[in-house]
Amino acid sequence: MWIGVAIEIPDPYRAALTRARLDAGDPRAGLIPPHITLVPPTWIDPERLMDVVAHLARVAAARSPFIVRLAGTETFRPITPVVFVPLVRGGDDCTGLQAALNAGPLAAEQRFPYRPHVTIAHEIDDTSLDRAEAAMADFSAEFPVAAFELFEHGLDGVWRGIDRFTLTV
């Protein structure tokens, strides 16, 4: 089964970020909720799911809630065709959480160095990427992060939440 771990973006910011992705013409806009990735899509044997859940619970129990602030837009181009909203607060907290999660049963070498962000356009044409980057340049949001989600990535491309882990320190 394919899984991922992420921080969901709360409303009203969630709706604005979804709208931006839809307006950009990103076909994944209706499949993947706005989020900050902590563990990218990862294949696990379904028999290992309980080990993964126990690992996520241990990590959450050792972490405190924190504040995230999103502002502006950036891109990973020319490396990858992605436009995103960067974190200007809470990035170090996300990086520490990501490092703790990507251990134990989820230990894996990552394709790129971790950079917390919220994708607003992915793998679409350059003109649409430029338009998305300009349209959200003044976007800002601030919200508390008190939990992260375990998602299953369905064969239909939809991310479905299957468990939630509260930061409890």
2-29 pLDDT per residue, tens: 999 999 999 999 999 999 999 999 998 9
- CATH code for 2-166? 3.90.1140.10
Share of the chain above pLDDT 90, in %: 91
pLDDT at 61: 98
Confidence tier at 111 by pLDDT (50, 70, 90): confident
pLDDT at 169: 83
pLDDT at 110: 85
81-94 pLDDT per residue, tens: 999 999 999 999 99
CA 22 → CA 15, 25, 49, 99, distances in Å?
Answer: 10, 5, 32, 31
| Mean pLDDT estimate for the chain | 96
Distance CA 18, CA 23 (A): 9
To which residue do tokens 């013409």 refer? Answer: 25
113-169 pLDDT per residue, tens: 999 999 999 989 999 999 999 999 999 999 999 999 999 999 998 999 999 999 998
Please count the other Cβ atoms lying within 10 Å of the Cβ belonging to residue 97.
25
